[in-house]
Amino acid sequence: MADGKKEQTKDLNEYSGSGGLTEFLSKHNISLAFSSYQSGILYFLGRKPDGGIQLHQCGASKPMGLYYNAKGGLLLSAGSQIWYMENTLAANERANQIFDACFVPRQIHNTGSLDSHDIVRDRNDRVLFVNTRFNCIATTSARHSFVPIWKPPFIDAIVDEDRCHLNGMAISQEGEVTHVTALSRSNTIDGWRDRRADGGVVIDVRSNKIVCEGLSMPHSPRWHDGELWIANSGTGEIGVVESLETGMGTFKPRAFCPGFLRGLSFYGGYAFVGLSRPRYKRFEGLALDDRLVEADSEAWCGIQIIDISKGTCVNWFRIDGPVMELYDVTAIPGYKCPMAIAPGTREIANLITWSKESEFA
């Protein structure tokens, strides 16, 4: 059940997982977090003490981009806010005798409704997010809703018009934002909607140049093992951008998943991919529609775990029901069963912790 401000209602969704999912999470000692702006829920997928699957739901307004860092912090772009979440539990502590991590939004930055997508924290500890509404990468400000720090070369001004649907952001292992994805190179309001089939691009933020084109609604650029991966959402494929060193790379598919793909995370030789179903029964105008017909398959909503050495799905988690769309997914190493508490709830009002490092002698 979701933990949030809204009145609790019966969950009409059905949740299922592959037979080996629990064992996989246990073997790799990880859990997963994923977001659904459609349902207004931040999900945590972990393991119960008895070995079963635990799905925790935390209410949030339009949760989108997720970023988990090695220090244990979790960032979330949530509607008109950015949440800075920290795990409040020590290694030997448990919440409700089940959860070994409890993520609490200790800081909240109010940005206004910017349609923020991907979010990261760079090597200078700055929070950077894709400000889709204003076609730029932005950071936070104590005074303003945002501070723009980069825009695509084909966008001529910082203006309140979603022109190219800038969405994804890749950060290197060194903490530098290197590439972004956009659904088109349009410079007019909503211009991207007419370019969904093959207008998508990858842009190198450092050189200000387009380095891959002809994509179908690309999302979620991520570095893994020296390769730049993306989700070519309109074809249902994840893959890598090859030959970046030439100045114009080529998308090379590595795996097909039956859904509109958004959200991509890596851990231990596996890719964790978010899948969504179509809003209006079909993915009209996208190659994904034909690909599903060829495979005699229906699109579904959930997470697939892909063995990237083989390009095959080894485990999965599926949602059937009103929830049809996910946005982001991230692996959370080292925790069996995480949870989160939403701001403005009775739970967060009653959760009081203090630092043991400042005890008086």
Give one DSSP letter per residue of 260-271, joined into a string: EEEEEEEETTEE
Look-up of token digits 């949760």: 63
> What band does 283 get if pLDDT is binned at 50, 70 and 90?
confident
Predicted local confidence at residue 152, as pLDDT? 98
pLDDT digits (tens, 9 = 90+) for 44-76: 999 998 889 999 999 999 999 999 998 889 999
- Between β-strands 116-121 and 127-131, what pairing exists: parallel, antiparallel or unpaired? antiparallel
Average pLDDT over residues 271-285: 86
Percent of all residues in the chain with a pLDDT value above 70, rounded to a whole number: 96
Number of residues that make up the chain: 361
Predicted local confidence at residue 271, as pLDDT? 98
Predicted local confidence at residue 7, as pLDDT? 42
> What band does 333 get if pLDDT is binned at 50, 70 and 90?
very high
Predicted local confidence at residue 114, as pLDDT? 98
Predicted local confidence at residue 361, as pLDDT? 54
Q: Tell me what the pLDDT averaged over the chain comes to.
A: 94
- Return the SS3 of 326: coil
Instruction: Evaluate if residue 2 carries a pLDDT over 50.
Output: no
Mind listing the domains of the chain with CATH numbers? Answer: 14-349 (2.120.10.30)
| Tokens, residue 253 | 């598919």
Predicted local confidence at residue 6, as pLDDT? 41
Predicted local confidence at residue 119, as pLDDT? 98
Closest CA to 37 of 306, 301, 313: 301
- Return the SS3 of 249: coil
Average pLDDT over residues 101-118: 97
Average pLDDT over residues 321-332: 97
Average pLDDT over residues 147-152: 98
Look-up of token digits 């089939």: 197
Predicted local confidence at residue 279, as pLDDT? 81
Average pLDDT over residues 269-288: 88
> Are 189 and 135 within 8 A, CB to CB?
no
Instruction: Evaluate if residue 343 carries a pLDDT over 90.
Output: yes
Average pLDDT over residues 135-153: 97
- Between β-strands 2-3 and 53-59, what pairing exists: parallel, antiparallel or unpaired? parallel
Instruction: Evaluate if residue 3 carries a pLDDT over 60.
Output: no
Q: How far apart are CA 65 and CA 263, in angstroms?
A: 8
Average pLDDT over residues 223-232: 97
Average pLDDT over residues 88-116: 95
Instruction: Evaluate if residue 281 carries a pLDDT over 80.
Output: no
